[in-house]
Structure 1
Amino acid sequence: MNDALAQAYPLHLATLRQRADAALEAVGRAHLVIPAGHPIGKHLDDMEYPFAVHPSFKQWVPLLNAPGSWIVYTPGEKPVLIYLQPQDFWHLTPEDPTGYWVEHFDIRLIRTWEDARQHLPKDPAACAILGQPRDGIADFVPDAPEAVVQYLNYHRAYKTPYEQIRMREASALGARGHRAAAAAFRAGESEFGIHMAYLHAVGQTDAELPYHSIAGLNEHGAVLHYMHFDTTPPERNRSFLIDAGASSGGYASDITRTYAAPEAEEFRALIDAVDKVQLQLCDGVRAGRDYAELHLQAHQLLAGVLKDQGIVDMSPEAMVERGVSSTFFPHGLGHGIGLQVHDVGGFMRSDKGGTIAQPDGHPFLRMTRALETDMVVTIEPGLYFIDMLLARLKERPEGKHVDWNRVDALRPYGGIRIEDDVICTDGDPENMTRDAFAALD
């Protein structure tokens, strides 16, 4: 993979430079400055939370653990990396930067955070400084014009070939972890035990993963963001929902799968039906397709599953129009993904700003832009049996169309979500997740 990255990186860097040139020219600034950021201290403690590098920094260089470092880009000049390498006997000293990308930077080593100021541009007013105010140093405080932020966020949706290589690798790692987690589920492990099997297979710590893994057994699959790991297995592992990703050079994968115990034939049939819908929606990731419209199609298709499975006796159209489908599918179809799991720019109308609203009645959709070549999105339809939402539906007139005995039989299984990461191309979509699982087979 290193050879492929080395070949793709120069074009990636050239693309970032072009975007920076355009953003700076629009506001009359001379330099783009990007801090890596700093760890956040815990309240009333001398300990810190795990460091998370700013996304814009790791887009330029694959350095994920370089707090206190900076990138300075001046159009027409070689980018500068101000690299903090402290002499500290309490912690492991960062190694010298190495790899396919270092020749493209003027690298300046510093020993203390304050030393960065002598390598930063003299006049902060001539700079567009990304980041947060707390990243500031002396008179150098992040205050990038909104026009710069909007422009860069909008164009971040288009992934370079280098970024796509990274995301394929993240998908491969995530698929490997998912296979290990599924095996642990079938072996009767606890949620904690399953998660540990996942970490071991991926080879990353919790802090290195792109997001907190979701590993829900049985009813816990109905909690959309289930953030706990029970250490004791239930009496019987009936079902398992895992939403977990991996990282490669700062780029994320986001994969969800749902499994049923061998005897849970009805629930497995429902999983198979959702999987069929999910594949149809993945095939809809095509240039020119409105993502919000694809989300609405997901509701139509999932409503069809509810009817075919004998759960709701209404037409799919009526279920969507009257909000019944949202009881069972309450979240959005997916989102952009890349440097962040929920990547920026999903609602943007143009690189000058403005937003595209979510469809009425669908407040949790995270992307409303039309799909274009080189965008990467997740497709994650689901069906859940969430007590709070079901109770509300039961009190409505539409509740009489629900087979509540069937619902009660399915409640112990929690819910279903199936999620893939898909590249929009100028032809058929590339499903990185399915490709990663196929490679393991």
Structure 2
Amino acid sequence: MLTHIPFPPLPAPPSWFPGHMLQFQRMLPTLLNKTDVVLELRDARLPLTSINQNFEGALQKWKRERGTEFPTGIPPLRDASATTPVAGPSMGAACQRIVVFSKRDLVPEWGIKPFQRAMAAKYPDQKFFFASWNSRRDIKALNELLVNVAREHPHRPELNVLVVGMPNVGKSTLLNALRNIGIAGPTPKALRTSAHPGMTRVLSTRLKLCVEPLVYAYDSPGVMLPFLGKGDKGAERGVKLALIAPVFPWLLTYVEFSVRTETAGIKEGLYDTETLASYLLFRMNVLDPVSPAYLRLLPPGSPPVVYVQDFLELLAQRLCMLKRGGIPDTARAAVWFIKWWREEGGLASAAAPALPATASGIGLQSWRRGWGFDLEWTVDAAEFGRYDESMIQAKMEECMSRFEEAAAEEEREGGAISSTQEKKRAKEEQRARQQARTRARLAAKKGR
């Protein structure tokens, strides 16, 4: 087993923010005026990193304007001759924000309930739902959740749902699945889907999800952060997103081409696959330092590996990926490793236990544990005997608090804005000052 897992060095993150993302971001406040329910999709493996702060301001304003006019967001009914509210159907505007964590089958089951409770305690105005698009039961439960919201507002002719989130979290796939559950009979696929992000570039037409009651939904373009951050935090954020879903869709294609043609290096500004492999190796070791899922790829009896170069050499030999002279082809092995993890290894990693059964007998003073790619904490030897769901929830809440503190500090230090954006902002401010001076001079001349 591993007792020391060093954090790998990571490069600065590249940016990917096409014009259609900016366009949708500007449209969002107007769209929310016609929206009753926001389905915000996040990846269960990145429950914090996949929060898009660009949405927060617009969503919070929407909640304030539509959801807090009355204590519950629902105005009380009054009898014509009475001065006190009476019971009856809701007449208020629907205003629900439901955060759906996709790919629940790719995170350990033991952490789902503690995480849900931790999020509900921290964000009581939001609902949280875990789902796998492969599970009909999950899709049916989410469909029932939307139908219940519609039935709580029977005076409204229809319920309008807006689906938002980062690229490639499965928005179009979810809506196709909800439509299949909610509409009786054969339902053709209404929205195109792709393994690469960026397929949806404009707001979709209305998609009917249910007939009785009427529920409609809009698919939206995935929106990335314009800048992933500075320093180690930004570097790790970029690598996480690149691993979870190919946020940079040209990356693996280019690397595979480079490997086949044996060209040196990689296109400037993109991640080297060995960098992605090194972070993936680190994260899998944290998830299970005793028996990480990648051991099944190595020769039988191999111990866990700390350094990526050693691991890739072993993997290349195991897969017979050799260059001339029998030299292990680590570049090809890195591409294969990342592809394996996306297709099979994620499921294997999700089987990692909350705490290894041998934890108390090894004599370690503490264990480093993790859930998904965002949450990581230490379990002291004194806590081994009472390591249950309530303690896991407390550890997760600490992780969330640290995440929020780091995000606030990054915001104060200007870490959420790139140097290019800073220059652009400075030019806009200078232009605004010049225009103000020009208007002042013209006003002064006119007043003479």
**Normalising to structure 2: TM-score of the pair?**
0.24
Between structures 1 and 2, the one with greater helix share: 2
**Normalising to structure 1: TM-score of the pair?**
0.25
Q: Which has the higher contact order (CA 8 A, sep 6+)?
A: 2
State which structure, 1 or 2, has the greater radius of gyration over its C-alpha atoms: 2
